[in-house]
Amino acid sequence: MIYLLAGFLFFVGIVLLVRWAAYAPAGDVLSLVYKLGGVFFLILAAFFLFRKQWVVAMPLALFAWSLLRKKSYLAGADKESGRGSTVRTAALEMTLDHDTGIIIGQVLAGSFEGRELDSLTEAELNSLWQEVGGDKESRDLLEAYLDGRHPDWRERFNIDPAAREGSTADSGPMTKEEAYQVLGLAAGASDVEVVEAHRRLMKRLHPDHGGSTFLASKINAAKSVLLGKHD
């Protein structure tokens, strides 16, 4: 019975670990691999040490120690990024937290200038949605926020599909400064950091995590700008 319970707990642990690794930053996953490898080889070294096989035990112990002290350069880069992506339009500024997937925003212009989106009531959000109707990017950004806060907001706001037809065209091309902010990277980040940030954010934007087509398009555009690729 004890072995059955141990086997079940081991299986559950593996499932949870795999699920975590699927959405965690690659640097964090690599750091965990180093630590687990270090523990494994340390136990193995202790086994050979117990059997007084010093010639085998000492190299294993040194290797285990090096793994336990090793840090992933990707994990370091990820922490330097601040784990936040900022998207700004004429009327709104929003930040996506890389760790939690939570979107926070602030109104930059209009009747609710200076207000945090979280502080607005449903009626005020409805008014804001109407107010930014002439700015397609601001409306798309607000809708990304509403999709996370009120998934059924279209029904609750009694939105008429035709109400979107008057939206203006997108703003001009994204600058490199904007691209770094969207990916949550410091200016001058390497191509490896850009690719890693893009991968991590696209996983965060999976529908199960409150994904947004608009934010995904911004993140793809930021990667293209920084890597010099234009579709």
Helix (H, G, I), strand (E, B) or coil at 104: strand
pLDDT computed for residue 216 by the predictor:
81
Instruction: Give 121-167 pLDDT, tens digit per residue.
Output: 888 999 999 898 888 888 888 888 888 777 788 888 876 655 554 44
**Which of 26-35, 71-80, 125-134 is least confident?**
71-80
83 in Cβ contact with 71 (< 8 Å) = no
Which range of 60-74, 149-163, 176-190, 207-221 scores highest in mean pLDDT? It is 176-190
pLDDT at 211 over 70: no
Distance CA(197)–CA(186), nearest Å, equals 11
User: What is the C-alpha radius of gyration for the chain, rounded to an integer number of angstroms?
Assistant: 24
**Which of 5-9, 161-165, 217-221 is least confident?**
161-165
Tokens of 127: 């008014």
**Torsion, CA 219, CA 220, CA 222, CA 223, rounded to 10:** 120
The dihedral sign for the CA sequence 127, 93, 173, 74? negative
Compute the mean pLDDT over every residue in the chain, rounded to the nearest whole number: 76
pLDDT at 107 over 90: yes
**Which of 10-24, 161-175, 190-204, 213-227 is least confident?**
161-175
Percent of the chain with pLDDT over 70: 71
pLDDT computed for residue 210 by the predictor:
55
Instruction: Give 165-175 pLDDT, tens digit per residue.
Output: 444 445 567 88
Distance CA(111)–CA(90), nearest Å, equals 13
Element containing residue 88 per DSSP (H, E): strand 84-88
Tokens of 43: 């136990």
pLDDT computed for residue 141 by the predictor:
86
Higher pLDDT, 13 or 226: 226
Higher pLDDT, 55 or 15: 55
Domains and CATH numbers, the chain: 2-75 (no CATH), 81-227 (1.10.287.110)
Going by pLDDT thresholds of 50, 70 and 90, the confidence category of residue 88 is confident
Distance CA(198)–CA(200), nearest Å, equals 6
Percent of the chain with pLDDT over 90: 4
